[in-house]
C-alpha cells in the first residue's frame, strides 16, 4: 500500500487494517476457488490435452470451407503490383452521384397520412395503386410463390458492444417473459404471415457462414424438437413452424499484409496539423522510417 499523506496516525492505522483484511479475504477466496477447481478436475477424471492443429489440418479446413488458393494468389499479386489497395479504393473524380428520382421508387401511401399528397384526387390515386400492389403480393403468398430469406452469417453485434457473438442467436429482447433472439423474431413473422393466409407453407431460408453454421444448425434442430414436443403434449398436430432450410456460405479468404504503399497513402490521408516550415521537416523525415517499422511489426503479427 502506498504512503497515505495528510492523515493522522489513527486514520492511517484504520486504513492499514482495512486493506489488510481485504487482502486476506481475497487470498482466502482465491484458495477456495483453487480447491474447487482441483476437485472438479478430479471428479471429471484425467483429460487429454487439446490436440494442436497442424498446417495440414488447417489447409484441409480451408478447402472444406471454400478457400480458393488460385484466387488468393491473384489477389496477393494484384496487391503487390498496386492494382488493388487503399489508393484505388476510392470513387473516381468523374463519378456522378444523383438523388433517387420519384419515378424510381414505389411509395406505400396510407390514407391517414396525407403528407406529400396535393389533393383528394392524389390521395385516391395512391390508395388505388396501393390496393393493386397489395393484391399482387397476397396472390403470390396464397399461391406459395414467396419465401423468406434471413442473412445470418455475421458475428459481432452492436447489441454486445462489438463482442464476438453470433448475432442471429444473441438474445436482445424480452417477449412474454423470455429472452428472444433475431432468429426467433424472424421465424415468428413467417409463422404469423402463414396464419393470415390459411396456413400456407412459406419456406424460411437462413444463410450461414464459416463461424455461424454449426451453432445455428444446432439451434434450429432444438427449436423444432421443442416445438414438436410442446404440440404433442397439448395433443396438437406437427406444429406451425415453417419449413426451415440452412444455406451455408462457402467462401473464406486469408488476410493479406498491407504494403508500405498502402500505409503511406493512409498516412497522407490522415488529418495532421501543419506545422511551420522548419518544424514540419521533423515529422516529414520521421514518416518513412516510422512506416517501415509499422510494416515490419504488422508482418511479425501476421506470421505469429
Give residue 297's pLDDT. 65
Q: Do residues 151 and 248 both lie within one domain?
A: yes
* pLDDT cut 70: percent of the chain above it: 70
Question: Residue 97: is its pLDDT beyond 70?
Answer: yes
- Confidence class for position 28, pLDDT limits 50, 70, 90: confident
Give me the number of domains the chain comprises: 3
Diameter of the chain measured on Cα atoms: 89
Give DSSP secondary structure letters for the chain. ----TT--HHHHHHHHHHHHHHHHHHHHHHHHHHHHHHHHHHHH---PPPPPPPHHHHHHHHHHTT--HHHHHHHHHHHHHTSSSTTTSS--TT----PPPGGG------TT--TT--SHHHHHHHHHHHHHHHHHHHHHHHTT---EEEE---B--GGGTT-S-BGGG---EEETTEEE-HHHHHHHHHHHHHHHTTT----EEEEE-TTTHHHHHHHHHHHHHHHHHHHHHTT--S-SPPPEEEEE--------PPPHHHHHHHHHHS--PPPPHHHHHHHHHHHHHHHHHHHHHHHHHHH-
Cell numbers 482465491 label which residue? 30
pLDDT per position as a tens digit, 250-260: 888 888 888 88
What is each CA distance from 148 to 21, 187, 222, in whole angstroms? 61, 9, 20
Taking Cα atoms as reference points, which of 230, 253, 252, 251 lies closest to residue 240? 230
Cβ-Cβ contacts under 8 Å for 284 (sequence gap 6 or more): none
Residue 273 lies in a domain: yes
Structural domain range at position 124: 102-143
What φ, ψ does residue 95 adopt, rounded to 5°?
-65, 130
Q: What is the pTM of this model?
A: 0.62
- Confidence class for position 106, pLDDT limits 50, 70, 90: low
Residue 225 lies in a domain: yes
Question: Residue 92: is its pLDDT beyond 90?
Answer: no
Which residue has better confidence, 51 or 139?
A: 139
Give residue 165's pLDDT. 85
Question: Residue 5: is its pLDDT beyond 50?
Answer: no
C-alpha cell at position 7? 492523515
Question: Residue 176: is its pLDDT beyond 80?
Answer: yes
Residue 113 lies in a domain: yes
- Are the C-beta atoms of residues 187 and 242 closer than 8 Å to each other? yes
C-alpha cell at position 157? 453485434
Q: In what order do the strands lie in the sheet with 148-151?
A: 148-151, 204-208, 244-248
Distance between CA atoms of residues 166 and 208, nearest Å: 10
What φ, ψ does residue 59 adopt, rounded to 5°?
-65, -40
Residue 14 lies in a domain: no
Residue 6 lies in a domain: no
- Of 143, 167, 199, which one is at a domain's C-terminal end? 143
- Confidence class for position 2, pLDDT limits 50, 70, 90: very low
Question: Residue 54: is its pLDDT beyond 60?
Answer: yes
Give residue 258's pLDDT. 81
- Confidence class for position 3, pLDDT limits 50, 70, 90: very low
Least confident of 25-34, 36-45, 92-101: 36-45
Which residue has better confidence, 286 or 100?
A: 100
Q: Do residues 191 and 156 both lie within one domain?
A: yes
Residue 128 lies in a domain: yes
Which residue has better confidence, 116 or 33?
A: 33
Residue 85 lies in a domain: no
Give residue 301's pLDDT. 60
Give residue 86's pLDDT. 85
Residue 126 lies in a domain: yes
pLDDT per position as a tens digit, 184-211: 999 999 999 999 998 899 999 999 998 8
- Of 143, 175, 194, which one is at a domain's C-terminal end? 143
Give residue 143's pLDDT. 93
Amino acid at each position: 500500500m502506498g504512503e497515505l499523506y495528510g492523515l493522522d496516525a489513527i486514520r492511517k492505522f484504520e486504513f492499514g487494517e482495512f486493506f489488510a483484511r481485504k487482502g486476506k479475504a481475497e487470498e482466502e477466496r482465491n484458495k477456495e476457488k483453487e480447491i474447487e477447481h482441483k476437485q472438479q478436475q478430479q471428479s471429471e477424471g484425467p483429460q487429454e490435452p487439446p490436440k494442436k492443429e497442424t498446417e495440414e489440418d488447417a489447409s484441409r479446413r480451408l478447402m472444406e470451407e471454400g478457400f480458393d488458393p488460385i484466387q488468393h494468389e491473384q489477389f496477393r499479386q494484384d496487391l503487390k503490383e498496386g492494382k488493388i489497395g487503399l489508393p484505388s479504393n476510392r470513387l473516381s473524380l468523374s463519378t456522378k452521384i444523383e438523388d433517387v428520382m420519384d419515378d424510381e421508387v414505389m411509395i406505400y401511401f396510407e390514407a391517414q397520412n396525407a403528407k406529400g399528397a396535393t389533393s383528394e384526387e392524389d390521395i385516391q390515386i395512391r390508395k388505388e395503386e396501393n390496393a393493386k400492389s397489395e393484391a399482387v403480393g397476397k396472390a403470390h403468398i396464397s399461391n406459395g410463390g414467396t419465401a423468406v430469406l434471413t442473412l445470418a452469417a455475421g458475428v459481432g453485434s452492436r447489441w454486445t458492444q462489438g463482442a464476438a457473438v453470433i448475432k442471429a442467436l444473441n438474445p436482445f429482447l424480452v417477449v412474454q417473459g423470455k429472452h428472444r433472439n433475431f432468429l426467433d423474431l424472424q421465424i415468428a413473422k413467417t409463422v404469423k404471415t402463414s396464419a393470415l393466409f390459411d396456413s400456407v407453407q412459406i419456406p424460411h431460408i437462413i444463410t450461414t457462414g464459416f463461424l455461424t453454421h454449426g451453432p445455428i444448425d444446432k439451434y434450429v434442430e432444438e427449436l423444432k424438437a421443442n416445438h414438436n414436443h410442446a404440440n404433442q403434449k397439448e395433443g396438437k398436430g406437427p406444429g406451425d413452424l415453417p419449413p426451415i432450410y440452412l444455406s451455408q456460405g462457402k467462401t473464406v479468404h486469408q488476410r493479406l499484409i498491407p504494403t508500405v504503399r498502402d500505409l503511406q497513402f493512409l498516412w497522407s490521408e490522415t488529418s495532421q496539423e501543419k506545422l511551420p516550415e522548419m518544424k514540419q521537416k521533423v515529422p516529414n523525415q520521421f514518416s518513412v522510417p516510422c512506416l517501415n517499422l509499422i510494416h515490419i511489426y504488422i508482418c511479425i503479427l501476421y506470421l505469429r
